[in-house]
Structure 1
Amino acid sequence: MLFDLFPSRTMTRYIAQMFAVRILAVLVMLVLVLQMLDLLSESGHILAAKGNGQMELLRYIGLRTPQLISRFTPYSVLLATIITLVTLNQNSEVVSMKAAGLSANQILAPLFLVAAFTSVFTFAFNERVVVRASGALKAWQDVGYGTTPPDSDIKTNVWMQDGPNILYARTVTGRGAAMTMGDVSWYRRDPGGMVTDIVHALRATFAHPGWRFDHPTGFNVQSTRAGPQGTDTVYATGVDPAQVIVRKTDADGESLARLTTSIAAIRAAGYRTSELDGKWYHKLSGPLSALLMPLLGAVAAFGLARSGKLFVRAVIGMMLGFAYFVVDNAALAMGNFGGYTPLLAAWSPFFLFLLIGETVLIRTEE
């Protein structure tokens, strides 16, 4: 029996079902409360945009809810772990299972099984739903909850350096040579940094190098004169599509495959990618945090309920779980500043708390 991870099918089904129901209940409760609070803080900004109403509020809820589900699923697993194990301990079911010869790992095995399915679901949900919702919400917020073009790969409010000059595009769609800018302006500046000329066009395409403006109009600051410019004139020769990717790559809004492509393009252009590398690794390690929660909360399962320390054990489990998220965020921040390598920043908290959780479990089991 000691070498069988799931010695009883009935017990496995019983604990797994109890755990799964509690994960779902806690997640629904957290998402509903947080969505309500978030909507209260953002509704004023949404309704301030001209023409927005109830449908835009519902659109915001639809785009924001996947983010909340993804972010708080590990917290739900942690709280559900503690609730489940405290319930089993109070009913002396843990004592009965240990009296039957089950080890601590066998008791926790059904929880790990459900947590593993939760991790797989979270990863798939992030790749298929969350990245699209995050990208659409970011683009919508960048235009002040106004109208955004119907494009799944849109970047908004992009500022780029063209030597001493500045290129601004309200929207950018496409990638590489097929990239197109909308509502674009080019600002010529003198050596002192003052703007001398402004060229504007509704559309610009990449001209290898530079950007060809469609029917541009110019404005001279000194003479205050405006007028049409040459149709074949190319501007911002120092700006290439890679600069747009560098400035506007949002790891939260790109799938793992697309982020890999963005990182490769940025590296090819000679730019630093350590921050995006860390987020690439975290797309894998993040969902696995749900698998770690049953181990960190397991301290609540072992020890006699009548000893009066059950509440203390539950608090210790919660502290271990929340400490993991604090360390995880701190490690990512250190990776962004170059203090850790991207691989270490993404994976070290997971393995550190894996060892801590197993140590605490061994030391506290009675």
Structure 2
Amino acid sequence: MINVQFFPSKRIAFYMARLFLVRSFAVLAALVLILMTLDLLGESGKILAKPGNGDAELWRYVSLRVPMLIARFLPFSVLLGTLITLAALNQHSEIIAMKAAGISAHQIIAPLIVASVGVAAISFAFNERIVTRSAAALGAWEAVEYGPVPPQSRVSSNVWVRNGEDLIVARQVSGTGESMLLRGITIYRRASGTLENIVKAESGRRVPGGWRLSEAGDFVVDEGRTIRAPVYLYRSELEPDQFSLARVDPDEQDFGRLSQSIADLEVAGRPTAALEANLWHKFSGPLSAVLMPLLAAIAAFGLARSGHLFLRAIAGMGLGFAYFVADNFAIAMGNYGAYPPSLAAWGPFALFLLVGETVLIRTEE
């Protein structure tokens, strides 16, 4: 008699979900520990090179970087956790016992899929509340080369703005509106396509008629000399909003704030397709954890003693890696405008959902 319930039984469902979650988070912890160690080895020299930095700053870097590593490698950890769980169940003939009891392949992986839905929900909340703030804080800290970060809100780094023929680069932009503060400013002043002056200043603020730059140096290209001035007035109608909208990093903004940034860019007549793809990827990215049990389910079935278990596990891993490659490719195409935002965000998810379901049905059902 075939069991037509969604779950095989409560006991089996809890047993499999527990194995899946424990192994997935154990793999995640191991990956984050190894990758964080390697990352810290590469960055510790830059952090400690700044006068006044010490162990506290190293731990601060770790606290900001770890959430980003967790967000990036959580779906991959779910894939490996699923493979380890299902391969072990197959190796110990537990899968065979379940199928002998009339439990279908979909029922066997159903507890893992439900558990992965919970993982996806936690991942989304974690990304929105923690990862975006960590990315913004780390970006602002890196912009000042791991030195003191100004207390202003909405700090952006390496912002480029075009004003007529002039190009303006600000190493750091903090604050909004008339209270905006620019740091590390370089202005390339051009006329008829020819570079005439390069103005560099420590900081700048908006004043009536332009921008007031402090500790400036004006390099005159034709004369080959630099004119120093404690105060330099860059006369321009350049608005602070142009700096706010010049660099919108979707990794540093949550769904609500990114939606508002997209709306502001649309009002300003700026292209938003790349940001819209990243906006919807904030949902499809965490949901990729739901696909992993389906893609890795091929490792659960087939006789372990036939010697094909390892090959099945490799095939499941290959499907998972193929999804990550396709997802990154689609987002890249969305950023270049080659794919519509909805296709870039949801296309790989829908494609591999069909692939995983087809493989499961044709091999086991």
Q: Given the two structures, how large is their TM-score scaled by the length of structure 1? A: 0.91
Q: Aligned in 2, Cα 1:266/1:24: closer, same or farther, shift over 3 Å?
A: same
Following superposition, the deviation at residue 235 of structure 1 comes to 2.5
Whole-Å separation in 2 of the counterparts to 1:215 and 1:152 = 21
Following superposition, the deviation at residue 150 of structure 1 comes to 2.2
Whole-Å separation in 2 of the counterparts to 1:297 and 1:328 = 17
List alignment gaps of at least 5 residues for structure 1: none
Greater alpha carbon shift after TM alignment, 187-196 vs 154-163: 187-196
- 2:35 matched to which residue of 1? 34
CA-based RMSD of the aligned residues comes to: 2.4
Give the AA of the match of 1:77. Answer: V
- 1:236 matched to which residue of 2? 236
Q: Given the two structures, how large is their TM-score scaled by the length of structure 2? A: 0.91
Q: Aligned in 2, Cα 1:213/1:365: closer, same or farther, shift over 3 Å?
A: same
Whole-Å separation in 2 of the counterparts to 1:262 and 1:70 = 22
Q: Is the 8 A contact 1:242 1:266 kept in 2?
A: no
Runs of 4 or more above 6 Å deviation: 214-218
Q: Is the 8 A contact 2:184 2:200 kept in 1?
A: no
Give the AA of the match of 1:265. Answer: D
- Residue identity over aligned pairs, in percent, reads 50
Q: Is the 8 A contact 1:245 1:266 kept in 2?
A: no
Whole-Å separation in 2 of the counterparts to 1:338 and 1:219 = 39
Q: Aligned in 2, Cα 1:339/1:165: closer, same or farther, shift over 3 Å?
A: closer
Q: Is the 8 A contact 2:212 2:231 kept in 1?
A: no
1:275 aligns with 2:274: yes
- 1:329 matched to which residue of 2? 328
Pairing of 1:203-242 with structure 2 (within 5 A): 203-205=204-206, 211-213=210-212, 219=218, 221=220, 222=223, 225-227=227-229, 235-237=235-237, 239-242=238-241
Whole-Å separation in 2 of the counterparts to 1:155 and 1:148 = 11
Whole-Å separation in 2 of the counterparts to 1:303 and 1:225 = 78
Greater alpha carbon shift after TM alignment, 253-262 vs 138-147: 138-147
Q: Aligned in 2, Cα 1:212/1:20: closer, same or farther, shift over 3 Å?
A: same
Q: Aligned in 2, Cα 1:173/1:241: closer, same or farther, shift over 3 Å?
A: same
Q: Aligned in 2, Cα 1:160/1:310: closer, same or farther, shift over 3 Å?
A: same
Greater alpha carbon shift after TM alignment, 96-105 vs 244-253: 244-253
Whole-Å separation in 2 of the counterparts to 1:272 and 1:192 = 25
- 1:69 matched to which residue of 2? 70
List alignment gaps of at least 5 residues for structure 2: none
Whole-Å separation in 2 of the counterparts to 1:312 and 1:158 = 49
Count of residues in correspondence between the two structures = 361
Deviation digits for residues 86-132 of structure 1 (CA, Å, limit 9, x no counterpart): 11111111111111111111111110111011000100000000000
Give the AA of the match of 1:16. Answer: A
1:363 aligns with 2:362: yes
Q: Is the 8 A contact 2:28 2:74 kept in 1?
A: yes
- 1:21 matched to which residue of 2? 22
